[in-house]
């Protein structure tokens, strides 16, 4: 099965599974899905749509230059975009249902472990002292801009530009795992809201200084601040929409950035450093903004790196075996000709 078709089939199956989970544990799921589909997209989604359209034309051109017919190239691109939509619909359905399956419980443990791991100091405070609130605030657009493009459009670039089918399959698996394994399966086992929502959920002042620091830095007037307020309002009202849901452990932002960094490093030494730097910045922002505990990001990087190493070892021999068989077959054919 070609990678685009396999990704589409998997994503649709995952979306259906998530829908069944959602209707089992929640009410008015169909109304929420219809509301998401029919709601007016915000400005960021319009920008993403324009970029996606441009990328689709570029992908078609890349596919046809490789000798693929325009019809098949168009089908490939359409399958990938359909797979992305199905995957993220399934992810949102599952994520917004998780609090009904397992209530939030892990924040006190994660907060204590995070502080212990960093010398009895909160990691967000260490980052704030090292870089300052102004620098960190200036970096926050990366968290919702370039990351969003990489998160949603990475499979299109992968399928259109990489001729190595073994590598394409490996990274499509890693991409799906960065959402489903990290953002659904592991998150379900460690249900947490993160430092920025800690005091609101547990009615405490454990992260009062974080709240004050973010307000002083000007996060309230930024896209990040508006999104944090929106996520909490949706959760408090018991409403769900595309891209909503709160879970801290483990970090999908960091896991996706890790996959992109691993891929760039594998393709080109020139891309390795900027991709690794981007991943590091996403990790720092996720901690400083209070979205995540530091351990959320560390764990995501570790899991994705281990899974990358496992898939690389498991899938490369298959490619080698196929090449060996091809060489042996070619040798037999030449012998018959002789």
The pLDDT tens digits for 130-142 are 999 999 999 999 9
User: Residues 15, 90: contact at Cβ < 8 Å?
Assistant: yes
Q: Where are the domains of the chain?
A: 7-322
Structure tokens that stand for 246 in this block? 């709160």
Q: Is 110 exposed, middle or buried (0-12, 13-18, 19+ CB in 10 A)?
A: buried
The pLDDT value given to residue 15: 93
| Residue that has been written with the tokens 């799921």 in this structure | 29
Q: What was the pLDDT predicted at 39?
A: 52
Nearest of 90, 164, 135 to residue 281 by alpha carbon: 135
Q: Please tell me the predicted confidence (pLDDT) of residue 65.
A: 56
Q: Is 199 exposed, middle or buried (0-12, 13-18, 19+ CB in 10 A)?
A: middle
- Which residues, 6 or more positions from 199, have their beta carbon under 8 angstroms from its beta carbon? 205, 206, 207, 208, 211
Instruction: Measure the CA–CA gap between 21 and 18, rounded to whole angstroms.
Output: 5
Compute the distance between CA of residue 137 and CA of residue 248 in angstroms, rounded to an integer. Answer: 20
Block means of pLDDT (10 residues each) for the chain, length 338 residues? 81 94 82 55 48 55 56 72 89 92 96 96 96 94 86 83 86 95 95 96 95 93 90 82 84 96 92 95 97 97 96 71 47 48
Q: Are 91 and 180 in contact (CB under 8 A)?
A: yes
The per-residue pLDDT for range 181-219, each reduced to its tens digit, is 999 999 999 999 999 999 999 999 999 999 999 999 999
pTM: 0.85
């Amino acid at each position: 099965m070609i990678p685009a078709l396999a990704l589409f089939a998997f994503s649709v199956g995952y979306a259906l599974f998530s829908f069944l989970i959602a209707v089992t544990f929640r009410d008015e799921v169909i109304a929420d899905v219809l509301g998401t589909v029919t709601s007016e997209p915000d400005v960021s989604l319009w920008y993403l749509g324009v970029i996606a359209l441009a990328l689709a034309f570029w992908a078609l051109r890349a596919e046809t230059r490789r000798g693929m017919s325009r019809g098949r190239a168009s089908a490939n691109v359409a399958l990938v975009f359909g797979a992305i939509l199905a995957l993220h619909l399934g992810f949102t359905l599952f994520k917004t249902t998780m609090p009904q399956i397992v209530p939030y419980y892990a924040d006190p443990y994660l907060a204590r472990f995070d502080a212990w791991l960093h010398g009895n100091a909160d990691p967000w405070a260490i980052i704030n002292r090292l870089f300052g609130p102004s620098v960190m605030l200036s970096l926050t657009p990366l968290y919702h801009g370039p990351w969003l493009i990489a998160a949603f459009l990475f499979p299109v670039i992968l399928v259109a530009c990489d001729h190595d089918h073994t590598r394409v399959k490996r990274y499509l698996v890693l991409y799906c795992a960065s959402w489903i394994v990290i953002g659904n399966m592991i998150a379900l086992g460690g249900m947490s809201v993160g430092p920025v929502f800690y005091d609101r959920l547990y009615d405490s002042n454990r992260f009062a200084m974080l709240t004050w620091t973010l307000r002083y830095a000007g996060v309230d007037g930024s896209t990040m601040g508006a999104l944090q307020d929106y996520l909490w309002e949706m959760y408090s009202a018991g409403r769900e929409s595309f891209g909503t849901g709160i879970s801290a452990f483990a970090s999908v932002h960091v896991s996706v950035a890790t996959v992109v960094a691993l891929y760039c490093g594998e393709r080109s030494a020139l891309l390795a450093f900027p991709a690794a730097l981007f991943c590091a910045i996403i990790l720092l922002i996720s901690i400083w903004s209070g979205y995540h505990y530091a351990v959320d990001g560390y764990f995501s990087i570790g899991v994705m790196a281990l899974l990358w190493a496992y898939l690389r070892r498991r899938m490369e021999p298959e490619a080698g075996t196929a090449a060996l068989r091809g060489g042996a077959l070619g040798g037999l054919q030449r012998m018959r000709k002789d």
